[in-house]
Structure 1
């Protein structure tokens, strides 16, 4: 059994607008995961120049981090996503997802975790609901690109985690269901992962039927982030 936790850690800034990377890190540690994915990861950006979140989280959690740079928000530091694991983990690829010119580049970080049954561990962060015209179509195209790359390179089995910025019942998540198993389907009705009251943070597995979901849970909302962590227990 592998325990996977995903958390949008908001670049260390909590609901109180104060920077404290340890708050989200403690929540992750308490979840006791084997592998972790994080969104909104900051490295030496101007507003907190000493903050190297992959290094700090790796040391604190006793895990190996892999950082995926998406962009530089201030022209100096780096911003993106990361994967961490207690097992050996290695970088496989970074997909530049369909993104219109002039907007934040969205990516999918692809790694391989050498657990007793190795698996490919993917982290992404889609555009916000109405970030630009046609955002819905761009999110669907991103799902297809990720799936195509997995099939092209035979990256099976795969676990995809991320803040997808849309909730169940939308065309994007309906499309995701046609190709992936969505762990969030096991969530209790009415449970949310973002302080807006929406469930937008997901853990999914591929191919359909290849990974057994033992349990899925949503962590409590705290001051550490505007998101809640989500955790899945998986059997390969």
Structure 2
């Protein structure tokens, strides 16, 4: 069962735009029973009713998902706008990060991230969405290197820092960063971002999580308040637990 966040306090409702964000590594739609179950991921999204969703480990038309486009299937089940950022070609199709948005997408692009050693190609999928009132917000979904050696993650974090550090639009960067909060990679990112998920516990593995790998990061700090943040007690749909944050954009 998924626990929903408490109601937003009245003071938050009148001071800015409340945005609910979900970050979820969906393990190419394979649940912890080894079954393809994209409906299980859709149920998490529908139950939590987010405005923006950052997805990692998304397959597009690969053989292992029977040539299905997972992001389009989720769009059909949730009624949200989508963008797929390709990290690499894989198994007859593509593999990367996805975004679902309740807000219209005005612009979309992919940032290739550098690989080191035996690391896989990685990317950040980025969209600019139009909020009620016509203001713009940037939202990015990323998945950093998984190797024990942090060199790849550091190079990828540096690329993200250089790309976003001079951008004036408010930004949410969410995803599986494959690093613990005390790591140099997270310290580098939080030099310009605030961690909306800072007080949350472990997110992986889903059944009995021991490591915090999934994050929601914000900038600039002057434009954001964190209203609520939660690791959902979902143990079957993927090998990661989803993270959801309610944010106030001032």
TM over 0.5: yes
1:100-179 counterparts in 2 under 5 A?
Answer: 100=116, 103-116=119-132, 117-130=135-148, 135-152=149-166, 154=167, 156-179=169-192
Following superposition, the deviation at residue 6 of structure 1 comes to: 0.7
CA deviation digits over 1:69-122, x for unaligned, max 9? 111222x21111111111101443211111136642110111111112421001
Q: Does 1:233 align with 2:242?
A: no
- The alignment of Structure 1 onto Structure 2 pairs a total of residues equal to 227
| Contact 2:55 2:175 survives alignment (8 Å) | yes
Q: TM-score, normalised by structure 1?
A: 0.91
CA deviation digits over 1:156-183, x for unaligned, max 9? 2000001001111111112222211001
1:1-236 counterparts in 2 under 5 A?
Answer: 1-74=18-91, 76-100=92-116, 103-116=119-132, 117-130=135-148, 135-152=149-166, 154=167, 156-187=169-200, 191-195=201-205, 196-236=209-249
**Distance (whole Å) between structure 1 residues aligned to residue 164 and residue 184 of structure 2:** 22
Gaps of 5+ in 2: 1-17
Measured on the aligned residues, the alpha-carbon RMSD in Å equals 1.6
**Distance (whole Å) between structure 2 residues aligned to residue 183 and residue 102 of structure 1:** 31
**Distance (whole Å) between structure 2 residues aligned to residue 90 and residue 125 of structure 1:** 23
**Distance (whole Å) between structure 1 residues aligned to residue 175 and residue 82 of structure 2:** 16
**Distance (whole Å) between structure 1 residues aligned to residue 163 and residue 70 of structure 2:** 28
Following superposition, the deviation at residue 21 of structure 1 comes to: 0.5
| Contact 1:129 1:166 survives alignment (8 Å) | no
Q: TM-score, normalised by structure 2?
A: 0.86
